[in-house]
Every structure is written in C-alpha cells, then in structure tokens.
Amino acid sequence: MSQLIVQLQKLAKNEQNPLLKRHFESLMMITSDTSHDLSMNKEDLQAAAASLEFFKTGGDNLNTYLSGPRPLIMAYKSPTDGKNSFYWLFLPKNFDRERKNYPLYMEIHGSGGGRNDQPWKMLYHYLKPDEAPGTTQMYLREGFLIYPWGRGDKGYEGISFNDLEESLADFDSLFSTDPEKQYLYGFSMGGKGVYKLAQRYPERWTALGIYSGIMESTPEEVETIKHIPVWMTWGETERWCVNNRTLRDHLLAAGAKISWEEQEGVGHSYKGEYQAALMKWFLTQRK
C-alpha cells in the first residue's frame, strides 16, 4: 500500500495535465482514507498491488484513459458530512478540452450486495494491467460519462443520494456540456437512483433509462418527470417486475413519452444488448 502511495505522489508531483494530476491525487486520497473508519482486507490489498503495476505500465499516460474503458478517479470531500467520496470520469473519444458541447451520460450503479460499501471495491476495479469489461457507454464514450460511488450499496437514500448530487456538481465545476444532451440511466438499485434524481432535477435531463428498476412510484411523483422521455426494460420473471409495470402505467397515464419492453422469460439482468439499445435510443433524443 505504501508503495502505491509513493508512486502516486511521484506521478502527481511531476504531472502537468490538471485532470491527470487530480486523478493521482484522488487515488491517494481514497487509498489512504480514514474518514469512513474502514480498513482494507486481503483482497483490497491485492487490488491495490495490481493498481501499482498499472501505474508503472501505462496508467501514468492520459492516452490510456482515452483508448479504452479506463476511468479517471475524481475524489472530493463531501460538503454534506465531511467524508471523502469519488466518481469515475470517462472522457469522450478524441477528447478536446476546449470543446464545450459534449453530451453528458450519468450512469448510476446497482447494488453489489454490500460489496461496494467499502470505497476500494470500486476504486481499483478498472485500474489494473488487465482491462476489465465495462458497460456499453464506457466503450462508446460518445460524451462524458460519470459513475458515482454513491457511498456503495445504500439504496440512494440520505447521504448516498447526496453523493449523486455532489458528484454531478463536482463534474459541472470542471466541464460545460450540451444542455440538450443530458442522459441519465441505471440498473436495479441504479434505476431507483435515476427515478429519484430525475424528480429532484427534472429540468436538467433530456432522457432517462431504467433497467429493471427496484423503485416504487406514485402518480404524484411521475407528474414531476412526465415531460422527460423514458426508456424502460425489465425481465418478466424478476422479483421487481410489478414495480416496473406500475411505473410504466403511471408514465403512460401521465402522457409521458415512454419506450418499454418486458423481456419474456428473463430475470433480473443487465444484458449488453439492452445497454446498446438504450444508447441508440438516447442518440434520437434532444430537448
């Protein structure tokens, strides 16, 4: 662990690119975090060792983050509770720092059954010598993509919802994006996060994507977001199919523009073809 910190300190000290510099500093910040009163286990230490190797073999070069599903880590001290948090930032392909009209994609992760509660589970996942498989937009990178930690698997309630807001605010302080192309989506627990964040900021979002969301909904809540186009899919046999049918019905009753499909014989799943279908649909949506 100390070797990783030393390596990151060296990289941060010598780095001239402000994004890459913050990336190194953010990794140091979360790697050495004590604000959450958590400790690393053997698996975390092994992941940190793999990241150390990564930063010796390409992780110190911005091109690495432009040529595959490799995120920059953007960490910050929460203004809500003073604890450290972070989000993944994927840069657009052919990234131009002067361009101000890239689309923004915000993906909200589902539950890992508590695995994500410790920040290191997400921190090192893509920062290893071997490339980890990503979700569809992580490969396409048709704009900026942010992916908040959300304090792990806490259902986007309380401070974990604040984490979504704070990550979005931090990103907005760094970049300007096309206000007509603001896309929000998530799977399972992430679908709940999408539903809640859309209600809080209904004027921001161009379109929403909900895969197998676990949220409950009311007609009154749906009134808030009925002007936002929504894409939904869920499995016929999954535990939360009724929740998704109910949200669909509320949206239809409110006159919302909605595209939906119930996957026959399928359970709770985030299949690649679903993801690709949503990304194509997003490209047809403008304010």
Domain boundaries, the chain: 2-282
Tell the CATH topology of 2-282.
Rossmann fold (3.40.50)
Residue by residue, DSSP assigns 49-74 as HHHHHHHHTTTTSGGGGTSSS-PEEE
Residue 133 CA to residue 101 CA, distance in Å, equals: 28
Reported confidence tier of residue 21, pLDDT bands at 50, 70, 90: very high
Average pLDDT for 180-209:
98
pLDDT score, position 49 = 94
pLDDT at 249 over 80: yes
Q: Is the pLDDT of residue 175 over 80?
A: yes
pTM, full prediction: 0.97
Percentage of the chain with pLDDT > 70?
100
Q: How confident is the model at residue 67 (pLDDT cuts 50, 70, 90)?
A: confident
Task: Dump pLDDT digits (tens) for 69-127.
Answer: 999 999 999 999 999 999 999 999 999 999 999 999 999 999 999 989 999 999 999 99
Indicate if the pLDDT at residue 169 is higher than 90: yes
For residue 2, what pLDDT band results from cuts at 50, 70 and 90? confident
CA angle (70 as vertex; 181, 173 as ends), nearest 5: 45
Question: What is the enclosing helix (H) or strand (E) of 97?
Answer: none
Does 207 score more than 90 pLDDT? yes
pLDDT higher than 90, residue 1: no
Mean predicted confidence (pLDDT) in 133-152:
96
Please give the Cα distance from 222 to 285 (Å, whole number).
Answer: 19
